[in-house]
Amino acid sequence: MKLNYKKMNKKILYSLLLSFAMFFTSCENYLEVQPDTGFSTAEVFKSEKDIQSAVAGVYTLMLTDDAYSSRLAFVFNMNTDVEMSGVTTNTVNVNGSDLACYDPKPYWTTLNSTWNAMYKIINLSNDVIEGIEQSDLYKSASKDTPSAVTQLYGEVKTLRAMVYLDMIRIWGDVVFRTKSSSGDENFYVGVTDRNDILEFLIDDLKSVEPLMQYANQLDYGVERASRSFNQGLIGLLALTRGGWTLRPDENNPASIGQMVRGDNYEMYYDTAIEYLGKVIQDQHHDLKLSFRDFWVKQNNWETPVDDDVMFSLPLLKNSAGQYAYYLGIPITEGNHPYGGASGNLSLCGTYLYSFDKQDVRRDMTCAPFSYNENLNQVIRLDLARLAVAKWSKLYMNDPLGSTSSSGTGVNFPWMRFADVLLMYAEAVNERFGPRNDAQECLKRVRRRAFAEVNWGEKVENYVNSKTTKESFFQAIMDERAWEFGGESKRKFDLARWNKFGEVIYNQYHKLINWGKVANGAFVPGIDQVPGSVYWKNIPDPNNAARTILDIQGIDEILQARPAGYTEQVFATSWYSLNNETASYEPRNDIKWSFRGFINFNNASSVSPNEPLRYLCPYPSKVITDHRGAIKNYYGFNY
Does residue 10 register a pLDDT over 60? Answer: no
Does residue 268 register a pLDDT over 50? Answer: yes
Q: How far apart are CA 437 and CA 420, in angstroms?
A: 13
User: Is 185 buried (19+), middle (13-18) or exposed (0-12) by CB count in 10 A?
Assistant: exposed
Poorest-confidence range of 7-16, 395-404, 575-584?
A: 7-16
What is the arithmetic mean of pLDDT over 314-331?
A: 88
Cβ neighbors of 113 (< 8 A, separation 6 or more) are: 66, 71
Does residue 38 register a pLDDT over 70? Answer: no
Q: What pLDDT was estimated at residue 112?
A: 93
DSSP symbol at 562: P
Other beta carbons less than 10 A from residue 314's beta carbon: 25
Q: How far apart are CA 325 and CA 331, in angstroms?
A: 9
Does residue 36 register a pLDDT over 80? Answer: no
Q: How far apart are CA 167 and CA 212, in angstroms?
A: 25
* Opening angle at CA 229, ends 228 and 232, nearest 5: 90
DSSP symbol at 5: B
Sign (positive/negative) of CA torsion 472, 478, 481, 482? Answer: negative
Confidence of residue 634 (pLDDT cuts 50, 70, 90): very high
Helix axes 469-483, 436-449, angle to 10 degrees: 30
Q: What pLDDT was estimated at residue 577?
A: 84
CA atoms within 13 A on the CB side of 96: 17
Q: How far apart are CA 84 and CA 384, in angstroms?
A: 6
In this prediction the pTM is: 0.93
Helix axes 417-432, 227-242, angle to 10 degrees: 40
Q: What pLDDT was estimated at residue 24?
A: 41
Q: What pLDDT was estimated at residue 405?
A: 65
Does residue 538 register a pLDDT over 50? Answer: yes
What is the percent of the chain with per-residue pLDDT over 90, rounded to a whole number?
81
Q: What pLDDT was estimated at residue 23?
A: 40
Q: What pLDDT was estimated at residue 7?
A: 41
Cβ neighbors of 75 (< 8 A, separation 6 or more) are: 99, 110, 114
Q: How far apart are CA 299 and CA 302, in angstroms?
A: 7
Digit-coded pLDDT (tens) for 593-607: 999 999 999 999 999
Q: How far apart are CA 315 and CA 317, in angstroms?
A: 7
Q: How far apart are CA 504 and CA 171, in angstroms?
A: 20
What is the arithmetic mean of pLDDT over 452-465?
A: 98
Confidence of residue 251 (pLDDT cuts 50, 70, 90): confident
Higher pLDDT, 245 or 180: 245
β-pair partners for 548: 538
Cβ neighbors of 481 (< 8 A, separation 6 or more) are: 81, 82, 351, 354, 490
Print burial letters for 355-383: b (CB count within 10 Å at least 16), e (below 16): bbeebbbbbbbbbbbbbeeebbbebbbbb
Amino acid at 13: L
User: How far does Cα 254 stand from its chain's mean position?
Assistant: 30
CA distances in angstroms from 597 to 86, 267, 277, 562, listed in the order given: 15, 32, 37, 40
What is the arithmetic mean of pLDDT over 297-310?
A: 95
Confidence of residue 433 (pLDDT cuts 50, 70, 90): very high
What CATH architecture applies to the domain 1-62+108-212?
Answer: Alpha Horseshoe (1.25)
Provide the terminal-to-terminal Cα distance of the chain, rounded to the nearest Å: 58
Helix (H) or strand (E) holding 483: helix 469-483
Q: What pLDDT was estimated at residue 318?
A: 75
Higher pLDDT, 94 or 321: 321
Other beta carbons less than 10 A from residue 578's beta carbon: 12
Q: What pLDDT was estimated at residue 313?
A: 92
* Opening angle at CA 348, ends 347 and 352, nearest 5: 85
Digit-coded pLDDT (tens) for 615-626: 999 999 999 988
Name the phi and psi angles at 421, rounded to 5.
-60, -45
Sign (positive/negative) of CA torsion 29, 178, 169, 274? Answer: negative
For the chain, give the mean pLDDT: 91
Does residue 237 register a pLDDT over 90? Answer: yes
Digit-coded pLDDT (tens) for 542-568: 999 999 999 999 999 999 999 999 999
Digit-coded pLDDT (tens) for 436-445: 999 999 999 9
Name the phi and psi angles at 146, rounded to 5.
-65, 150
* Opening angle at CA 152, ends 147 and 158, nearest 5: 120
Q: How far apart are CA 321 and CA 64, in angstroms?
A: 9
Coil, strand, or helix at residue 204? helix
Q: How many residues would you count in the chain? A: 638
Digit-coded pLDDT (tens) for 335-373: 999 999 999 999 999 999 999 999 999 999 999 999 999
Higher pLDDT, 244 or 109: 244
Q: How far apart are CA 246 and CA 260, in angstroms?
A: 6
Question: Of 238, 215, 234, which Cα lies nearest the Cα of 225?
Answer: 215
**Contact criterion met (CB below 8 Å) for 469 and 429:** yes
Q: How far apart are CA 520 and CA 281, in angstroms?
A: 54
What is the arithmetic mean of pLDDT over 285-297?
A: 98
E strand residue ranges, 275-345: 309-313
